[in-house]
């Protein structure tokens, strides 16, 4: 597999490198370089590096804006939020361009699907919050009413993979619940958050409702999570960061929601449509495997393992490593040289430990890594048990349902699972026994935004999606009035 020519990267990008605080751009003296994974020599921007001081400014702006934003109510807030959704749709090309150059994601899928989905996040939450009906009942001679109180300024921290989508996924419920937000994008991919800030500005949000502070995790991120005015912390990132941020949330006694890593099983039974299963299995290499819910552990029933492998290899061979702006490309580069080293080190250790590399296991040009399949020496191999977050899948076989479920549930993660079977009874049985926040049967990565999303085990705490996220960003209050005492 070869990498054909990378097209030139534009000299200038339509992105501000500064923070967005209290409705205006704020620079820091300290900066950090953002480079493109398409060409590591190309510096895309010199971005402001937030410190405790800029974080404090942003949280104070969010605190100041909070009472008025909260008092607007869902209908008042929805006006701004729907305007933002419109602007995202009007700026699909700009957002897709920036995200592709900054992260390396396939431009085609951003343009055709993901940016629209980001806009949809805001629309779905505008609708959900507007339609919310307070629960009212009578008991003990009183009327009980459950009211959602907006919680206050929320800290929202996102990772470098799919940063635009994830920023909208989190800020949509926060804003519609009546919280003001301080968004901290990842240091390896901060640029699309800055574009989002431009669109928020254009949508006319009151200053301070939506703020962006760029910076490093242990500087700006840590300062944000420990700020005493923050009333909610929502993180998407690695379990390691989840532990650190969770400890801070506990110290501050602030509700904490965490979407962390995954090592999802992809289970194929002998009664499945093998061609469809093999095609989707090969699709797990998309975006270079830098997808939290990717089904990276292929668990295939012994009786059809050879046939499945034959089909799977045919689909893998169709992958094209290349420029993510090119229509033909299906496998993009990894985000950063450090990440490339990390992925390759997993493979080196797997080799040394006696795992068999069936194909791939090599760097290609630049930051590209070949799609790799590993047959582990045993289920306790590191390559089976730890998230690689690269184009690396493992291949294991099972005899029966019992063994399939045992293998599926044998890691400390539990974000998602994929099952291919033709039997509805088996889908129901295995679907219920697999321990994960989400199970896809005969499909992958289709999600209804109103359904809960989140992990079990070290894949996370709490659920996002639908009204689950609106509840997270609200404090519930019971208003109890003695019947007949008021008119």
Contacts with ligand NAD, residue ranges (CB under 6 A): 157-161, 184, 186-187, 217-218, 221-222, 225, 236-238, 241, 244-245, 259-262, 292, 387, 389, 415, 455, 460
Query: How far, CA to CA in Å, does 221 sit from each of 207, 232, 278?
Result: 22, 14, 40
The rounded distance, in Å, linking the Cα atoms of 66 and 349 is: 50
Q: If we measure between CA atoms, which residue out of 89, 422, 409 comes closest to residue 270? A: 422
Nearer to ligand NAD, 230 or 300 (CB): 230
Nearer to ligand NAD, 15 or 203 (CB): 15
Q: If we measure between CA atoms, which residue out of 28, 32, 33, 34 comes closest to residue 51? A: 28
Write the DSSP symbol of residue 406. H
Nearer to ligand NAD, 159 or 361 (CB): 159
Name the strand (E) or helix (H) holding 142: strand 142-150
Angle between helices 115-131 and 92-103 (to 10 degrees): 120
Q: If we measure between CA atoms, which residue out of 218, 221, 223, 252 comes closest to residue 235? A: 221
Query: How far, CA to CA in Å, does 472 sit from each of 23, 464, 465?
Result: 26, 8, 10
Nearer to ligand NAD, 123 or 336 (CB): 336
In the complex, least distance from residue 275 CB atom to ligand NAD, rounded to whole angstroms: 29
What strands lie across the sheet with 154-157, from one edge to the other?
24-26, 19-21, 210-212, 181-184, 154-157, 232-236, 256-259, 460-461
Nearer to ligand NAD, 199 or 220 (CB): 220
Q: How many other C-beta atoms are found inside a 10 Å radius of the C-beta of residue 401? A: 16
In the complex, least distance from residue 266 CB atom to ligand NAD, rounded to whole angstroms: 16
259 catalytic residue (yes or no)? yes
In the complex, least distance from residue 397 CB atom to ligand NAD, rounded to whole angstroms: 26
| Residue 4 backbone class (left: φ over 0; alpha: ψ -120 to 50; beta: rest) | beta
Q: Which of 54, 60, 259, 387 is catalytic?
A: 259
Q: Which residues contact 29 (CB under 8 A, 6 or more apart)?
A: none
Nearer to ligand NAD, 110 or 278 (CB): 110
Nearer to ligand NAD, 213 or 267 (CB): 213
In the complex, least distance from residue 411 CB atom to ligand NAD, rounded to whole angstroms: 13
Q: If we measure between CA atoms, which residue out of 322, 344, 347, 343 comes closest to residue 333? A: 322
In the complex, least distance from residue 437 CB atom to ligand NAD, rounded to whole angstroms: 9
User: Which residue matches tokens 């510096």?
Assistant: 43
Nearer to ligand NAD, 108 or 170 (CB): 170
* DSSP conformation letters of 53-104: HHHHHHHHHHHHHHHHHHHTHHHHHHHHHHHHHHHHHHTHHHHHHHHHHHH-
The rounded distance, in Å, linking the Cα atoms of 314 and 336 is: 29
In the complex, least distance from residue 427 CB atom to ligand NAD, rounded to whole angstroms: 24
In the complex, least distance from residue 447 CB atom to ligand NAD, rounded to whole angstroms: 11
Write the DSSP symbol of residue 379. T
The rounded distance, in Å, linking the Cα atoms of 198 and 195 is: 5
In the complex, least distance from residue 389 CB atom to ligand NAD, rounded to whole angstroms: 5
362 φ, ψ to 5°?
-140, 150
For the annotated catalytic residues, the residue numbers are: 259
């Amino acid at each position: 597999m070869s990498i054909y020519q990378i097209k030139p990267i534009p000299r200038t990008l339509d992105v501000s490198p500064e923070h967005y605080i209290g409705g205006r751009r704020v620079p820091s003296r300290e900066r950090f370089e953002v480079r493109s994974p398409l060409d590591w020599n190309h510096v895309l921007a010199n971005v402001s590096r937030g410190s405790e001081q800029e974080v404090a400014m942003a949280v104070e702006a969010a605190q100041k804006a909070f009472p008025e934003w909260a008092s607007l109510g869902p209908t008042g807030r929805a006006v701004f939020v729907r305007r933002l959704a419109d602007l995202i749709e009007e700026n699909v090309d700009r957002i897709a361009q920036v995200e592709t150059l900054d992260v390396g994601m396939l431009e085609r899928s951003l343009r055709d699907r993901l940016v629209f989905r980001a806009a949809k996040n805001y629309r779905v939450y505008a609708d959900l919050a507007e339609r919310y009906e307070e629960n009212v009942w009578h008991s003990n001679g009183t009327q009980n009413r459950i009211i959602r109180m907006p919680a206050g300024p929320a800290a929202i921290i996102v990772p470098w993979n799919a940063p635009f989508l994830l920023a909208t996924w989190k800020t949509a419920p926060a804003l519609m619940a009546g919280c003001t937000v301080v968004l901290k994008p990842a240091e390896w991919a901060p640029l699309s958050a800055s574009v989002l800030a431009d669109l928020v500005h254009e949508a006319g949000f009151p200053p301070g409702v939506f703020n962006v502070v760029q910076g490093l995790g242990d500087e700006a991120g840590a300062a944000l999570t420990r700020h005493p005015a923050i009333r909610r912390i929502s993180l998407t990132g690695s379990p390691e960061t989840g532990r650190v941020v969770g400890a801070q949330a506990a110290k501050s006694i602030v509700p904490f929601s965490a979407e962390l890593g995954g090592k999802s099983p992809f289970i194929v039974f002998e009664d499945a449509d093998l061609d469809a299963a093999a095609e989707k299995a090969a699709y797990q290499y998309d975006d270079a495997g830098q997808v939290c819910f990717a089904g990276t552990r292929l668990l295939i029933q012994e009786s059809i393992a050879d046939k499945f492998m034959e089909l799977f290899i045919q689909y893998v061979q169709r992958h094209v490593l290349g420029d993510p702006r090119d229509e033909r490309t299906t496998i993009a580069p990894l985000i950063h040289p450090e990440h490339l080293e990390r992925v390759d080190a997993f493979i080196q250790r797997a080799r040394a430990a006696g795992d068999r590399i069936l194909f791939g296991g090599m760097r290609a040009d630049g930051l590209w890594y070949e799609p790799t399949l590993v047959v582990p020496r045993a289920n306790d191999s590191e390559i089976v048990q730890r998230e690689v977050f690269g184009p690396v899948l493992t291949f294991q076989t099972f005899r029966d349902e019992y063994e399939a479920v045992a293998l599926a549930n044998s890691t400390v993660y539990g974000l998602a699972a994929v099952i291919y079977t033709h039997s509805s009874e088996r889908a129901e049985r295995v679907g219920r026994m697999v321990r994960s926040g989400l199970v896809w049967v005969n499909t992958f990565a289709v999600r209804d935004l109103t359904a809960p999303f989140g992990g079990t085990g070290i894949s996370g705490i709490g659920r996002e999606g639908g009204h689950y996220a609106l509840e997270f960003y609200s404090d519930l209050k019971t208003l109890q009035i003695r019947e007949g005492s008021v008119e």
